[in-house]
Amino acid sequence: MTGTEVPRGTSRAVRSVPPSVRPRTAGAPRTTPSRPEGVGPVVDCAVYADGRRQAPVDPDDALREAVAQGGFVWLGLYAPTVEELGAIAERYQLHPLAVEDAVYAHQRPKLERYDDRLFMVFKTATYLEHDRLTATSEVVDTGEIMVFLGAHYVITVRHGEHAGLAELRRSLEDQPDLMCLGPSAVLYAVADHVVDGFVDVAGAVEGDVDELEASVFSDTRIDDIGRLYQLKRELLSLRRAVSPLEVPLQRLAERRMDAVPDAMRSYFRDVEDHAIRVRDQVAGLDELLTSILQASLARTSQADNEDMRRISAWAGIIAVPTAIAGIYGMNFRFMPELDWHYGYPLVLLLMAAVCLLLYRGFKRNGWL
């Protein structure tokens, strides 16, 4: 659900904010994106019991209702401020360090464990459509999703204009058997959603790589160095989102955790397998781009060498008449054939014959 959608509920007045998530000192950069005016941080809030969504509930009462019904609450947030997330952190007893990471964003993918609770960071990615790849094209846009996981709650915090979770929530609500497995089912669904996004982006970037490869090896000379370098930079953003995700998923798939039932471990193992495949795909694209860049540089160098050979060949041809004309222009009294009636045409004919011989020789050797 995008940040422009009307939230289903808002939190009450802020009480106290944990010290570690109070506003930073003056001059500290604000990294979280601002929301549209009038839109609260709560995008959606619902209690799930026996795998099904229950009657609407106020976000402030959601956790109590979830515990009473033996279910869990899924609270979705979009770009919360320090004060907004601080009030929620107090209610749900979230760890201050995790809360600070969730507010200021720009974290690398990771999984942190606080007693029986988990905090996981995902980097999301989306492909930016463009008519033609240029040296300044933005190809990959990234965002973040943070997930707080407890026995009776899952809180998702989203940063960035893409990667909304509204469709994912509706899809999960159609799978009550999966939702019966508790909050970790939501964590699995978010992980699967993020990795599927990586697959789509990698496939789209592969099309750009193929286009550049065809351009580099085409007969038309185009300067592709800038475009290749820009695509490598954009691919690096995707690689930074994909590669670190393997270790957290491996921990979820192989280690016993109170917040993750054994039945969910096979689900995370499947997501890990997909993440490894897309990691290898991205690494392969990066290596291919490196090879294409080297080939482009080699072709540029080869073209420069060919130009230099042509210039050198023409310079050699022009040097002959220049030398002969220079000799006769020294105005000495006794010069060969100076007084002969046909001397002037003979010298011109000699110049033309030597130039023709040189031209044929250079042409035969591929210099012209």
- In this predicted model, what pLDDT tens digit does every residue of 164-175 receive, in sequence order? 899 999 999 999
Please tell me the least confidently modeled range out of 149-153, 178-182, 243-247, 310-314: 310-314
Mean of all residue pLDDT scores within the chain:
83
Please tell me the least confidently modeled range out of 21-25, 198-202, 330-334: 21-25
- Report the C-alpha gap between 337 and 97 in whole angstroms: 99
Q: List beta partners, residue 74.
A: 46, 154
Q: Residue ranges of the domains in the chain? A: 19-299, 303-364
Residue 336: pLDDT band (50, 70, 90) is low
Asked if 1 contacts 43 with a C-beta cutoff of 8 angstroms, the reply is yes
Residue 357: pLDDT band (50, 70, 90) is confident
pLDDT tens, 248-303?
999 999 988 888 999 999 999 999 999 999 999 999 999 999 988 888 877 777 66
Q: Quick one: average pLDDT of 341-355?
A: 77
Q: Quick one: average pLDDT of 16-45?
A: 54
Q: Is the pLDDT of residue 37 over 50?
A: yes
What local confidence, expressed as pLDDT, does residue 155 receive? 96
Q: Is the pLDDT of residue 219 over 90?
A: no
Q: Do domains 19-299 and 303-364 have the same CATH topology?
A: no
As a three-state string, the secondary structure of the chain is CCCCCCCCCCCCCCCCCCHHHCCCCCCCCCCCCCCCCCCCCEEEEEEEECCEECCCCCHHHHHHHHHHHCCEEEEEEECCCHHHHHHHHHHHCCCHHHHHHHHHCCCCCEEEEECCEEEEEEEEEEECCCCCCCCCCCCEEEEEEEEEECCCEEEEEEECCCCCCHHHHHHHHCCHHHHCCCHHHHHHHHHHHHHHHHHHHHHHHHHHHHHHHHHHCCCCCCCCHHHHHHHHHHHHHHHHHHHHHHHHHHHHHHCCECCECHHHHHHHHHHHHHHHHHHHHHHHHHHHHHHHHHHHHHHHHHHHHHHHHHHHHHHHHHHHHHHHHHHHCCCCCCCCCCCCCCHHHHHHHHHHHHHHHHHHHHHHCCCC
What local confidence, expressed as pLDDT, does residue 339 receive? 67
Contacts of 32 (CB under 8 A, 6+ apart): 79, 80, 81, 103, 104, 105, 159
Asked if 180 contacts 153 with a C-beta cutoff of 8 angstroms, the reply is no
What local confidence, expressed as pLDDT, does residue 337 receive? 64
What local confidence, expressed as pLDDT, does residue 302 receive? 67
Name the range with the highest mean pLDDT among 18-32, 38-52, 274-288, 324-338.
Answer: 274-288
Fold of 19-299: Beta Polymerase; domain 2 (3.30.460)
What local confidence, expressed as pLDDT, does residue 334 receive? 60
Q: Quick one: average pLDDT of 35-46?
A: 77
* Better pLDDT: 191 or 308: 191
Hey, what are 87's tokens?
Answer: 């009030």
The CATH number that domain 303-364 falls under is 1.20.58.340
What local confidence, expressed as pLDDT, does residue 279 receive? 94
Residue 156: pLDDT band (50, 70, 90) is very high
Q: Is the pLDDT of residue 345 over 90?
A: no
* Better pLDDT: 4 or 50: 50
Q: Is the pLDDT of residue 348 over 90?
A: no
pLDDT above 90 covers a percentage of the chain that reads 49
pLDDT tens, 307-324?
787 888 888 878 878 877
What local confidence, expressed as pLDDT, does residue 333 receive? 64
Residue 17: pLDDT band (50, 70, 90) is very low
pLDDT tens, 43-67?
999 999 999 999 999 988 999 999 9
For the chain, what is the radius of gyration of the CA atoms? 34
